[in-house]
């Protein structure tokens, strides 16, 4: 106890922040966050040293504890929400699988006769025209295209009509 502050309370609060850092770097899905919230609440409750309780006004002491616990619960809710968002993002299906390219529009950046390059969603791809045999469907540089299939790293495209 130093100047009315319990060292154990301060250590528990510091430990809570260490637990948050550990949670950020390990995939424990909330174990360290729960430990941090519990450590933080106990640390705040223990901050006033036992002998200083009698020196401070009772109203201040009660309001300090209530405010501290409300703050700790709010922090816990925030981290629980953030953790739920992280878990949801980790378990979400990737958004750019092969089938997700079908129907996406882009622009030919070279003539595609029958192969060339296109720009789709800001990325440059090798492309192959599906209707390369017909003159009306020749894809020129700058033409708008639609992806009809994806085979490995090559997009199969046709001219947008």
Q: Does a structural domain hold residue 1?
A: no
Count of domains for the chain: 2
Express each pLDDT in 30-84 by its tens digit. Answer: 788 889 889 988 888 888 766 666 677 778 778 877 888 888 888 888 878 887 8
Which tokens sit at 79?
Answer: 């981290």
Which tokens sit at 154?
Answer: 């090559």
Q: What whole-number distance in Å separates Cα of residue 96 and Cα of residue 149?
A: 13
CB proximity list for 130: less than 8 A, separation 6 or greater = 148, 149, 156, 157, 158
For residues 118 and 146, state if they share a domain: yes
Q: How many residues are listed for the chain in this entry? A: 161
Q: Does a structural domain hold residue 66?
A: yes
For residues 12 and 31, state if they share a domain: yes
For residues 20 and 57, state if they share a domain: yes
For residues 102 and 78, state if they share a domain: no
**What's the CATH number where 104 sits?**
2.40.50.140
Express each pLDDT in 102-138 by its tens digit. Answer: 888 999 999 888 889 999 988 899 999 887 666 656 7
Q: What whole-number distance in Å separates Cα of residue 49 and Cα of residue 7?
A: 8
For residues 18 and 87, state if they share a domain: yes
Q: Does a structural domain hold residue 2?
A: no
For residues 30 and 73, state if they share a domain: yes
Q: At what angle do helices 58-91 and 31-46 cross, to 10 degrees?
A: 170
pTM of the model: 0.46
Domain extent at residue 108: 98-159
Q: Determine contact, residues 4/48, Cβ cutoff 8 Å.
A: yes
Strand partners, 128: 115, 156
Q: Determine contact, residues 55/4, Cβ cutoff 8 Å.
A: yes
Q: Does a structural domain hold residue 151?
A: yes
For residues 87 and 107, state if they share a domain: no
Q: Does a structural domain hold residue 76?
A: yes
Give the confidence band of 95 by pLDDT, cuts at 50, 70, 90: low
Residue 16 CB: number of other CB atoms within 10 A?
23
Q: What whole-number distance in Å separates Cα of residue 46 and Cα of residue 39?
A: 10
For residues 70 and 31, state if they share a domain: yes
For residues 86 and 154, state if they share a domain: no
């Amino acid at each position: 106890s130093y100047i009315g502050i319990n060292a154990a309370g301060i250590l528990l609060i510091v430990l809570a922040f260490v637990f948050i850092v550990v949670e950020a770097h390990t995939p424990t899905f909330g174990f360290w966050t729960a430990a941090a919230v519990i450590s933080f609440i106990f640390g705040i409750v223990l901050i006033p040293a036992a002998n200083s309780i009698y020196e401070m006004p009772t109203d201040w002491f009660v309001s300090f504890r209530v405010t501290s616990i409300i703050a700790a619960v709010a922090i816990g809710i925030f981290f629980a929400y953030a953790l739920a968002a992280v878990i949801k993002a980790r378990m979400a299906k990737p958004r750019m699988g092969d089938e997700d390219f079908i129907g996406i529009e882009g622009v030919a950046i070279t003539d595609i006769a029958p192969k060339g390059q296109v720009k789709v969603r800001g990325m440059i791809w090798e492309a192959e025209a599906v209707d390369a045999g017909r003159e009306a469907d020749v894809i020129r540089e700058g033409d708008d295209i639609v992806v009809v299939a994806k085979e490995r790293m090559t997009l199969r495209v046709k001219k947008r009509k």
